[in-house]
Amino acid sequence: AQSVSQHNHHVILSEAASLELGCNYSYGGTVNLFWYVQYPGQHLQLLLKYFSGDPLVKGIKGFEAEFIKSKFSFNLRKPSVQWSDTAEYFCAVNALTGGFKTIFGAGTRLFVKA
Amino acid sequence: GAGVSQSPRYKVAKRGQDVALRCDPISGHVSLFWYQQALGQGPEFLTYFQNEAQLDKSGLPSDRFFAERPEGSVSTLKIQRTQQEDSAVYLCASSLAGTGLNEQYFGPGTRLTVT
């Protein structure tokens, strides 16, 4: 069965620190990959997605993620976080042969200290 | 509408009661998903509709859970004889295309507490 693993459940950073959130998935076939974010009091929303092509994808608010197929990873990065990046981040995977099911990781809560 | 809406936002049910949770997707969106999110976990897939057709219900945890989307727009998730383990946030999401591969737009969720 497909699964998504997010390595850190809670991350605390100071403003201007660099961020990397790990995400690994278990599925050997072709996948579509997503990062969703939930800001306090708001709905889940898409941060970025990878379908094909350049494995380095850029999303909103300066976030980027790199798909490394050999490592089954899709880590999220941002060079310099801001207080407004405080949120919960979810990695998600859809396997092209897995029907319509999107599998989410357990999430990482990021707190950025001002 | 401007986004996906869900009602009620909060529901408290006594164990054994039936509940119905409503989702209004973005107008024109073909795909509709239901997820269950337990405390401290990510959303867990329940079921998927393409227009009025329920194409995947593999995530429904038991036959107490039933979902419908009779006219291809509004959807209802019904839980019969609620149990304490059903306590969770139920999320609805919609997407424009008729596949599961595009961006999903999420609603605010319904927080169900079973006492």
pLDDT for B100 equals 56
Distance CA A24, CA A93 (A): 10
pLDDT for A55 equals 94
- Return the closest-CA partner of residue B43 out of B3, B89, B84, B78: B89
Q: What percent of chain B has pLDDT over 90?
A: 90
The distance of Cα A3 from the centroid of its chain, to the nearest Å, equals: 14
Nearest CA in chain B to A98: B100
Measured between beta carbons, the chain B residues lying within 8 angstroms of A101 are 45, 48, 56, 58-59, 100
**Inter-chain CB proximity A100 and B41 less than 8 Å:** no
Query: CB A71: neighbour CB atoms within 10 A?
Result: 10
pLDDT for A81 equals 97
| Cα separations in angstroms, B12 against B20, B21, B88 | 12, 12, 11
**Of chain B residues 34-93, which have a CB less than 8 A from chain A?**
35, 40-45, 48, 50, 55-56, 58-59, 91, 93
**Inter-chain CB proximity A100 and B4 less than 8 Å:** no
**Of chain A residues 37-96, which have a CB less than 8 A from chain B?**
43-46, 49, 51, 90, 92, 94, 96
Distance CA B34, CA B21 (A): 10
pLDDT for A48 equals 94
Can the peptide bond before residue B8 be classed as cis, meaning omega within 30 degrees of 0?
A: yes
Q: Which helix (H) or strand (E) holds B88?
A: strand B88-95
**Inter-chain CB proximity B45 and A102 less than 8 Å:** yes
Please check whether residue A105 touches B, CB under 8 A.
Answer: yes
Residue B15 burial by CB count (10 A; 0-12/13-18/19+): exposed, middle or buried? exposed
Give the up-direction half-sphere exposure of residue B97: CA atoms within 13 A in the CB hemisphere.
7
Is A108 or B40 the better-scoring residue by pLDDT?
A108
Q: What percent of chain B has pLDDT over 70?
A: 96
Q: What is the mean pLDDT of residues B33-40?
A: 95
pLDDT for A2 equals 79
pLDDT for A95 equals 79
pLDDT for A29 equals 82
Positions in chain A short of pLDDT 70:
96-99
Please check whether residue B101 touches A, CB under 8 A.
Answer: yes
Q: What is the mean pLDDT of residues B70-76?
A: 96
pLDDT for A100 equals 75
